[in-house]
Structure 1
Amino acid sequence: MAFIDLKYPHSNFSIAPARKRADHTLPLVPNKIYLHIFEYIAPPTGPLAPEELAIFTKLSYVCRFFANHCLARMFEYFEFAGFHQSCESMLCTQIAAKQSLTLAIAKTVRVCRFSHWIIYKTDSWAVLFAPRFIDAISHMKHLRELRFCNSSVDARLWNAIAMLGSLEKLVFDECHFVPVSAHTSVSEDDSKRIQVSHLQVMACTGNCQAIVAIHPRYLCMLVVDMTLAQHIDWLGQSALTELHLCFKPVFFLTQDRYLERLPIVLACAPESGLATKYIVHLLRSSDSDSPVAVSWTSLVASQIYARSDTRSHSDQICHPWSFDTSFVTH
């Protein structure tokens, strides 16, 4: 399959597959018909199911046009799990080695998930593989969404993410941010900071370099827990249109502290973002009818509406404040 050219994997201008019956040449079928067939086999709404993956694997051997489309669809969603070595980690190694076919495949990845890669020992599989992954991710030029779940994140990874010019959404869930050192630091140069429109940081530990690594001017949607939100100092520089502040149940042990911080965080919202939608997630839906939840809802809602009243004198239209007592998990 070394002949495959994935430069334009979705183009209708590729040469249509030749059709023959014995020695007779049959009329060509327009490429868009094949594309409709591919979408019928596997609608482009998410990762391929195992049976769909098996079908696309076989179709990729038919001709160059089929290979261009099928391989791009097969590797559109990619996941690295730190439990053990897998075919994905092998492919990552080949990408880092700059093999021509795998470099082409890397350009087809749109969504990448990195899970269970917490570094416990210096000789662990996660530590040994990390440099290869960081090198490989820099070749995923068309990556739109990058997710980290229960993983370690260091300055090298932040700097690699900053090179992804097409990245739109960045998610960290239950991750550990490794403190920077004298040899590895996150760039504070605006031209080298991460430019994403959607950032989510939930239940993470350690020194969160997201505060420094993210360029606020491009950020439209922010989902964070109050632990991080109270340390963010650039909300006023952002272009937020939606802000989610999440209180995890464990944080109710220090309810006064976080409720006092809430209006301070909201006060830092961008002055130009009068149409910003603010959502505060307090409790799980099963607890939302409890007396405590009702009283807390009233308290936090009063703080939010007090914030909105301070803007009511503006000549610009202020959209209604949105309030939600359900705790969201992603």
Structure 2
Amino acid sequence: MFRWTIPERRVGDRNLPTIPTEIYLEIFEHLAPSGEKLSVEQTKTLTRVSGSCKLFCHIALPRIFEHVDFVGLVYYRHDNLPFSRNISWCSRMAAGEDLALWGAECTRECNFRDWQLESEGSWAVNMFAKRFTSSLSHMTNLRRLTFTRCFITNNHWRAVMALRALGELAFDKCQFTETAQLEDGIHTNHPMNLRVPSIEFYEGGAHAYVAARVFNLGHLRSLKTDLPFAVLLDWPQDYILEQLHLSQIKYSSPAHEFVLRATLRKIRQSVAELKLSFYDHMRLPDFEHYLQSNLSEIIQKLRSLTLVVDPNIRDYLQSHVKSPPLCFRVGFSENMEKLIVQSHAPCYPGGIRFVPPWQPSSDHLQQSTLPLILADFPNINYVEIYGTAIRLKGDSWVEAPVPYVAVDSTGIS
């Protein structure tokens, strides 16, 4: 964006050897490790350092603007430094300032949070929301965009539509306008055809059908959503969906069972990774029969299956006898490679995951559960049950670390 040289070093009139750029990069890596979202203090530090010279600015600014949060609650954040900085940044982008525009080009992830229309102060929320939304047009390299507890208008759809590099789009607990208006004044419920490879959508409310008609399902490769939204989707014949996560499945509900079965039959030709989250596992004793009835011989290309359930005493007792915690003989393809069963276990403050007393040992998985699984799925190479995991290493099974995942029936991960 601008020319820079390695900073000169002097003591009085005497020149000192220059420091290689690699050393400066290591120093910045210590100040703010790459790949991690900056804390408020790290952002302040990099902001101060970026004003020292052009080289430091060239290193620091991409890190500062790599992850951007636009937070609403206008009347509660008037003295908030990030909020004020974002207002200034958006104003400079609108004015065409080179440094502000370069910062926008460095943005890879943008999050809008808590932009809700309330009876009091709606004009202010609208004003700031429009300013921040208009800045999206300058984020030409944006990869992920999320909206959490936000109102969504046609301006938002147009801004998202212009993001050619966008790979992931997420909505959580958003309010959608009932109708949208195009430039020619025509009102329609589906103003455009939005092509994004990955979509997350949760709790869309009464007007979620607006989003359902906007998304181009033929170009969708990954979908994470709840069952109420899944029923609104009309899948084309030439879909390429590879990953599907469905949550809020109440398996004691005949209506949910019908929707689940219909949805899985529609996408059975291409999905390789399936995750189903149930939230009333304790209601019925025949969960195995339920799986057999709904999933049997449906998805032949499936490689990974994850079930998120509410464990109960029956599972705890069965995990200590010869049968597995759940019956996995549900008729999937013999090419299945990964099998995961998680529980809706709460997390303590600080992200420490609750370990249930019914967590099986790795020895139990290998000796009791694994033989039953391999009888139906000979290509399995990873098994995880309630926080205990084993994987195939060479010709033997070994205990594997379980990556931390906030398990919930709803919400953006």
Query: What TM-score do you get using the length of structure 2 for normalisation?
Result: 0.66
Q: Kindly tell me: are residues 297 and 25 of structure 1, through their superposed partners in 2, closer, same or farther at Cα, counting changes over 3 Å? A: farther
Whether 1:219 aligns to 2:231 is no
Q: How many correspondences in the alignment?
A: 302
CA distance in 1, matches of 2:301, 2:57: 59
Superposition RMSD on alpha carbons, in Å? Answer: 2.9
Corresponding residue of 1:116: 114
Residue among 7, 19, 22 paired with 2:9? 19
Q: Kindly tell me: are residues 197 and 309 of structure 1, through their superposed partners in 2, closer, same or farther at Cα, counting changes over 3 Å? A: closer
Q: Which amino acid aligns with 1:279?
A: K
Superposed, 1:71-110 pairs within 5 Å as 71-84=61-74, 85=78, 86-87=83-84, 88-110=86-108
- Contact kept? 1:82, 1:116, Cα under 8 Å: yes
Whether 1:56 aligns to 2:46 is yes
Corresponding residue of 1:139: 138
Superposed, 1:205-284 pairs within 5 Å as 205=205, 206-234=207-235, 236-247=237-248, 255-269=253-267, 271=269, 273=270, 276-283=272-279
CA distance in 1, matches of 2:29, 2:131: 33
Does 194-203 or 205-214 show the bigger shift?
205-214
Does 72-81 or 211-220 show the bigger shift?
211-220
Q: Which amino acid aligns with 1:159?
A: R
CA distance in 2, matches of 1:141, 1:153: 21
Q: Kindly tell me: are residues 212 and 229 of structure 1, through their superposed partners in 2, closer, same or farther at Cα, counting changes over 3 Å? A: same
Structure 1, gaps ≥5 residues long: 1-6
Whether 1:47 aligns to 2:37 is yes
CA shift, 1:321, in A, is 8.1
CA shift, 1:322, in A, is 5.3
- Contact kept? 1:220, 1:241, Cα under 8 Å: yes
Q: Which has the higher contact order (CA 8 A, sep 6+)?
A: 1
- Contact kept? 1:282, 1:324, Cα under 8 Å: no
Give the structure with the higher percent strand. 2
Q: Kindly tell me: are residues 224 and 293 of structure 1, through their superposed partners in 2, closer, same or farther at Cα, counting changes over 3 Å? A: farther
- Contact kept? 1:279, 1:324, Cα under 8 Å: no
- Contact kept? 1:148, 1:173, Cα under 8 Å: yes
CA shift, 1:308, in A, is 3.6
- Contact kept? 1:278, 1:323, Cα under 8 Å: no
Superposed, 1:278-293 pairs within 5 Å as 278-283=274-279, 290=282, 292=283
Q: Kindly tell me: are residues 29 and 296 of structure 1, through their superposed partners in 2, closer, same or farther at Cα, counting changes over 3 Å? A: same
Listed one character per residue, the Cα deviations across residues 39-92 of structure 1 (whole Å, up to 9, x for unaligned) are 122112322123322321221111101011112211211111111242123422
Q: Kindly tell me: are residues 217 and 309 of structure 1, through their superposed partners in 2, closer, same or farther at Cα, counting changes over 3 Å? A: closer
CA distance in 1, matches of 2:285, 2:7: 64
Listed one character per residue, the Cα deviations across residues 105-156 of structure 1 (whole Å, up to 9, x for unaligned) are 2112211110111123484322122322221111111111111000111222
- Contact kept? 1:119, 1:152, Cα under 8 Å: yes
Q: Which has the larger radius of gyration?
A: 2
Listed one character per residue, the Cα deviations across residues 180-211 of structure 1 (whole Å, up to 9, x for unaligned) are 245465444xxxx4332221001111143332
Whether 1:172 aligns to 2:171 is yes
CA distance in 1, matches of 2:90, 2:239: 34
Listed one character per residue, the Cα deviations across residues 14-34 of structure 1 (whole Å, up to 9, x for unaligned) are 522222232222333222221
